[in-house]
Structure 1
Amino acid sequence: MSIFYKVIIFFLITFSLMFFVSIEINKLTKDTIEMLLRDKYIHVSGELFKYMSNSDQKSLEERLKELKFEIVEDKGRYIEKSHILHEYNTDFSTIKILRDKENKYLLYMKYLDDEMLVIDLSQDNNFEKKEFLNYMIVADIFILILLCLIILKMVYPLKDISKIIRKFGEGEYCLRIKTGCKDEIGEVAKTFNSMASNIQDLITSRQRLLRDIGHELKTPISKSKIALDMIEDTKYKRILNKALFQIDEMINELLCLEKLNANQNKLNIENFSSDTLVGEALSKLFIEDENLVDITIESSFKIKGDLNYLSIALKNLIDNALKYGTQKPVYVVVRDTNISVKSIGDVLDKPLEYYCEAFTQGDNSRNQSGYGLGLSLVRRIMDKHGFELLYYHDGKFNVFEIVV
């Protein structure tokens, strides 16, 4: 999951928690205010009843003023539209604590035929504090939203940076990161652009060098082949012809390996059968006697990949088996989703990875032709397709397997 979506999820979780907490705090504050006012009204009602029972209106008004209570006119309208929170009745008196539509709390008292509705004016301070607390919660939520937007704006360029770096790794070396950020992300983008330019220059220079070398070598090789055709067929002509073919093959493999390493060649993906792959690989081999290769197709299967590159890989495995096998023929076996190339010989004295490095050969190859590019090219082609290259020795045969 990207950082961008992690920030959004974190924000949604935090926002939900804060919203839930704000609702609970608002409810708790409201219940607290209601409980305090109810206790206060119940506590002072007994004292106020004394003044009402003594018909001491003056003392009653003075006490109400001290308590910061105010008598509410139009009792009937308020009582009718208010919600009763608490009610207590005796033979001579009635007490009701009410909440009106504006969430103000009132005290209704009745003694015999006298009745009175009062409101505590000091409760406004409590409601003001409650409103202030609500404003603070809203401000916190607003700051959280603002902070989330700022973070998203900061990390959003990382999506483009990640995308460009991935495409750069796939071979699009001309891509650069465009960002107006002047923070650490901007520094990363600037450093990447500088590094990408250097890498592109190095790759371009290396490709130009290899292309020029290949071109310069192709010309004398072509001339040599033309000259050889004019010479009568002898043992030495066949030796020279084979040497020229091997040099030409080495140049082609070098250029092919370089393009694969630089991710310059895009695979031409298509569907074909394993039989087609084997036939294409054999057509690329330079062998005079077809009996040197024994083909066994136990079960054909479908392959999705680049036929040209995969045939080069299989051709190299067969070619290596022909060069380094101690006896002929070489066996190519197709079964399940594997293509095996088997040759009689001693077990390799080093791990497979050693031979997959360019220009690497085993000790037993000193008297054999080759330039150590075969397995390196095979491994690179397998990696590009996501296929496996396996090796094992079964006691008699060296077996190289392509696992699709």
Structure 2
Amino acid sequence: MLPHRSIFFKLNLFFVLALLTLALLFALFHVTASHMETRREVLRGMELARLLHHLRSTDRAERTSALAEAQFALLTTGALPKNARELQPPRNADDHDAREHRERPPLRLYEADGSYYFRSTIRRDPFLVKDERPAENFGGLQLIFVLLLAGLVTLYVLLRRSLLPLRDLHTQIRRFGRGDLDIDTSSTRRDEIAAIANEFNDALEQLRQLRASRQLFLRNVMHELKTPLTKGKLSLAMMEENEQTAYLNRLFSRMDDLINGVAQVEKLQSVGLDRTPQKLGALLETAVHQLYLSAERRQALMITIEPDVSINADAPLFISALSNLLDNALKYSSAPPVTVTADRQGICIANTGAPLDVPLDTVMQPFSSANPAGGLGLGLSITDTVVQAHGFTLVYDYREGTHRFCIRF
């Protein structure tokens, strides 16, 4: 899955954008509040200038009293705090205020530790006044910002924790897609993701029960079929051979192949592959051995194998697939030899014969009756299923009177 398509990526991106938006709003609020505070102190400086203009003929005691009444403190020392910084009036002060300020004694505004000071620049009347009026309290808005930040982080953590089970559910579904039904997606949570996981787990439980019922049914059926089949073969073995017994032997052999084919199909659908490193030559040798070929038919095989070639395969199933291809090639070959070539790219089995009368897809369907020479219609279907389960590819080609089946690794 691409990172930008992940729901976690989108959640993280949303959180970062929300955090940046909140930070920008706070910065804008801080700048605006500072501007308003400076503006207020400039107006206080004008108020102080007017008051001092009216008190210019009074003594220090009367001036101190009048200043205190206006919430100004006339300091006895003219020294500013060490960390004081001078503030400049806002540029958008109107012309009336600027003109009025120029008509008053010039004052300089300073700020230190949240307090504001006005210092006279007139040499003959130097003084330092502290503004005693309480500063504007913006603590409430700062508290709102902190609460919003905490709420945003809490919401992000809760959402991420709620979505984390999706990763585990995705892993379990991938295992299910590979044929593993022994998984558990049940959840004790009470959100929508837990509801989906529990519904999926209930569906899995029903599939497990259906699989167990099917396996039990097929095993019982095959057991019941095998018993009379074995007894029939034993009875025929004790009878004198004639045309009728030969026909019954062929009939019993076909029924036996049918039961074995059904067993292989059931194994493919219900049991996962047990893949281990296998020597390709050993697999092919075992497949030939399981055909129980006569000396004449064995001589019809021409096998060429590249040495020391290994593949990861479920040995019994892969040998069964090879046996089916070899058996078909020998059975329907119009003339020897049947050639087998194996290397690191794959295995190819070729035999001469007339072209197929029907499409290959029709012949490969289970229990197909399209083959005019008879047959169960299971061999190629089992082979194709085994090859696909291994992640390989079964390729067919007919050219110049030669059928060619290849398993590409």
TM-score normalised per structure 2 = 0.79
> Mean alpha-carbon deviation: is it higher for 265-274 or for 275-284?
265-274
* Match for residue 291 of structure 2 among 285, 300, 317: 285
Q: Residue by residue, what CA displacement relative to the aligned partner does 1:115-141 show, whole Å, maximum 9, x if unpaired?
A: 02232736x22xx23x33322222222
Please state if 1:309 is matched with 2:317: yes
- The root-mean-square deviation of aligned C-alpha atoms, in Å, is 3.6
Aligned partner of 2:12 in structure 1 is 9
Mapped contact 2:302–2:338 kept (Cα < 8 A): yes
Please state if 1:385 is matched with 2:390: yes
* Match for residue 269 of structure 1 among 275, 280, 284: 275
Aligned partner of 1:82 in structure 2 is 84
Please state if 1:25 is matched with 2:28: yes
Mapped contact 1:110–1:116 kept (Cα < 8 A): no
Per-residue deviation at 1:24? 2.8
* Match for residue 366 of structure 1 among 366, 372, 376: 372
State how far apart, in whole Å, the 2-side matches of 1:306 and 1:104 are.
Answer: 84
Per-residue deviation at 1:336? 3.8
Aligned partner of 1:147 in structure 2 is 155
What code does the residue aligned with 1:152 have? R
Mapped contact 2:279–2:310 kept (Cα < 8 A): yes
What code does the residue aligned with 1:82 have? A
* Match for residue 195 of structure 1 among 193, 203, 209: 203
* Match for residue 127 of structure 2 among 115, 119, 122: 115
> Mean alpha-carbon deviation: is it higher for 103-112 or for 21-30?
21-30
Q: Residue by residue, what CA displacement relative to the aligned partner does 1:206-250 show, whole Å, maximum 9, x if unpaired?
A: 111111111112222222333343345666655544443332232
State how far apart, in whole Å, the 2-side matches of 1:75 and 1:280 are.
Answer: 109
State how far apart, in whole Å, the 1-side matches of 2:393 and 2:384 are.
Answer: 8
Q: State the SS of the aligned residue for 1:304.
A: strand
Q: State the SS of the aligned residue for 2:82.
A: helix
State how far apart, in whole Å, the 2-side matches of 1:78 and 1:110 are.
Answer: 14
State how far apart, in whole Å, the 2-side matches of 1:352 and 1:138 are.
Answer: 72
Please state if 1:252 is matched with 2:260: yes
Aligned partner of 1:98 in structure 2 is 110
Structure 2 unmatched runs, 5+: 90-101
Per-residue deviation at 1:169? 4.4
Per-residue deviation at 1:303? 0.9
* Match for residue 227 of structure 2 among 203, 219, 223: 219
Mapped contact 2:180–2:272 kept (Cα < 8 A): no
Q: Residue by residue, what CA displacement relative to the aligned partner does 1:126-182 show, whole Å, maximum 9, x if unpaired?
A: xx23x3332222222222223223323433443444344444444554544432344
Per-residue deviation at 1:37? 4.5
State how far apart, in whole Å, the 1-side matches of 2:390 and 2:350 are.
Answer: 22
Per-residue deviation at 1:339? 0.7
Structure 1 unmatched runs, 5+: none
> Mean alpha-carbon deviation: is it higher for 220-229 or for 231-240?
231-240
Q: State the SS of the aligned residue for 1:272.
A: strand
What code does the residue aligned with 2:24 have? V
What code does the residue aligned with 1:98 have? Y
State how far apart, in whole Å, the 1-side matches of 2:335 and 2:321 are.
Answer: 22
TM-score normalised per structure 1 = 0.80
Q: How many residues align?
A: 389
Aligned partner of 1:401 in structure 2 is 406
Q: State the SS of the aligned residue for 1:334.
A: strand
Change (3 A) 1:110 1:317: same
What code does the residue aligned with 2:82 have? E
State how far apart, in whole Å, the 1-side matches of 2:330 and 2:153 are.
Answer: 70
Mapped contact 1:299–1:334 kept (Cα < 8 A): no
Change (3 A) 1:141 1:81: closer
> Mean alpha-carbon deviation: is it higher for 71-80 or for 212-221?
71-80
State how far apart, in whole Å, the 1-side matches of 2:120 and 2:359 are.
Answer: 100
Matched-pair identity in %: 25
Q: State the SS of the aligned residue for 1:358.
A: coil
What code does the residue aligned with 1:328 have? P
Mapped contact 2:78–2:128 kept (Cα < 8 A): no
